[in-house]
Chains A and B, each alone.
Chain A
Amino acid sequence: MEGSFDFAIILKSVPYLAEGMVLTFQLTFLGIAGGIFFGTLLALCRLSPFAPLSFVAGSYVNFFRSMPLILVIFWFYFLVPFIVGHPVGGFWSVTLAFIMFEAAYYCEIMRAGIQSVTLGQVYAGQALGLTYRQNMQYIVLPQAFRNMIPILLTQAIVLFQDTSLVYVVGLGDFLVHADIVANRDNRLMEMFTTVAIVYFIICLLGTFYIRRLQRKLANA
């Protein structure tokens, strides 16, 4: 790899890199949506007065939080086709891995969020005659979400960075596409530097947005 920094190779591969970025964003959004959904359910289970339910939810969270994400990706990548009985494609296996993995982290965030809602609100809901479900749906969860938005978004940035780990199963995300170009044209320096800068800018913009949001929420 002689010679100086070659910008042409980056410009030439922009469409291919963009294609990878689309997959990165798909994984991120599916991971966030699924993760928050199951994470919230897990949090409700964890806070449930029914001991076996909260035990199962707690074990689930501890289990996934003590596993490296790479190993989780490998597990799902090989296990999902086995359970389904036919090949499902790497994308859905990995998406499921991210959802299940993130659910454990979102569960902890949502649990803190639910606990941040003052008990008076819960009692007021009960006094109005709301059922548990109505109380959660209309009173507690909306407030819990609002309180936790900055932390939920911070976790989303972490997830966005973590999607690069699909590299280990060769799914065509941003990093893998850059890696393919880098190895084909022997331009590792250019491609990986570009990848780092793009990730950095996106994450930094996200961080700034969250900080602004936090200030706004603090003033409200």
Chain B
Amino acid sequence: MEFSYNWDWSVLLCTVEDVEIGCIAPYFYWIVEGFGWTIAVASAAWVIAFSWGSFIGILRTLEAPIWLVVPFLKPSMKYKSSVIETGNGAVMINIGWFLHGFATVYVTIFRNIPLLVQMFLWYFVLPEVVSKEAGMWLKREMPLPEYWTAVACLGLYTASRVGEAVRAGINSITQGQHYAAMAIGLTRVQVYRCVLLPVAYRIIIPPLTSDFLGIFKNSSLALTIGVLELTAMTRQIDEYSYQTFEAFTAATVLYILVTAIVMFAMRIVEGRVAIPGMISLGAK
């Protein structure tokens, strides 16, 4: 067993002025730049994942019918159970099952296709399926096409995970709270906004933290469609300098550092927002 590798950390630190000694670029800045893109991809994707995922999660917890009022429509007897005539020329259609089903199908699809394949679907397949103009826009005319594709893909993928967390959080609240809220006359929106969600989000801080860290780590997949984020930059440094492990080590340290900081911060947040008297695991 031999391990003959010449560690040369100066490779990361040398600047453009050091060209004469065999250094063609300030690799340190490449790492900083790549790290910047990683953060940019992860945070933008998290905005999508959190908002869209919350919506999906809430839809999956809806049980009672949701009535959509449609004016000027003649109800057919076939759908009697989900259609009510209001008597003044409009009908109410129960779309609850549809919304619930949509959310379930969404989660099933996005959780059962590998993220990398999803990335390729968004980047290579979608522009071919839509109209020619739209395809051109997706591929070329849109600003930063690779970046936004990666953000959309990661966001929509992680939304399915956030959705499951939100659903679990809402379902873990005792039914009594729900009934109590309805008993004091709150509308369904108010029940969610004022009673269920504030508690649910506090409960699911740990899984949400791990979903966020998941986005942060998975942003490295963006390198496959050409986003020069942290992992891609380390590969590039390796190709230019042949000093493979210095760049890998630097990236590893950055990933671990961010993970540690996020976990530490979220633990503090969890403790801060905990409702006194409610049992909250992990918050000490």
Residues of A within 8 A of B (CB): 1, 63, 65-71, 74-75, 78-79, 82-85, 157, 161-162, 164-165, 167-168, 175, 179, 182, 188-189, 192-193, 195-196, 199-200, 203-204, 207
Query: B252 near A: Cβ within 8 Å?
Result: yes
Question: Which B residues touch A182, using CB under 8 A?
Answer: 124
Interface of A is mostly: helix
Structural contact, A68 and B117, CB atoms closer than 8 A: no
Interface segment, one of B51-59, B218-226, B264-272: B218-226
Q: In which size bucket is the chain B interface?
A: 35 or more
Question: Which B residues touch A165, using CB under 8 A?
Answer: 116, 221
Query: B256 near A: Cβ within 8 Å?
Result: yes
A193 to B124, CA, bound (A): 10
Residues of B within 8 A of A (CB): 1-3, 5, 108-109, 111-118, 120-121, 124-125, 128-129, 213, 217-221, 223-224, 231, 234-235, 238, 244-245, 248, 251-252, 255-256, 259-260
Structural contact, A199 and B113, CB atoms closer than 8 A: yes
Structural contact, B117 and A164, CB atoms closer than 8 A: yes
Interface of B is mostly: helix
A78 to B256, CA, bound (A): 20
A85 to B2, CA, bound (A): 6
Structural contact, A193 and B221, CB atoms closer than 8 A: no
B171 to chain A, nearest CB (A): 16
A65 to chain B, nearest CB (A): 8
A66 to B257, CA, bound (A): 9
Structural contact, A200 and B113, CB atoms closer than 8 A: yes
Structural contact, B121 and A71, CB atoms closer than 8 A: no
A208 to chain B, nearest CB (A): 10
Write the chain B residue with the least CB distance to A77.
B244
Question: Which B residues touch A78, using CB under 8 A?
Answer: 238, 244-245, 248
A206 to chain B, nearest CB (A): 9
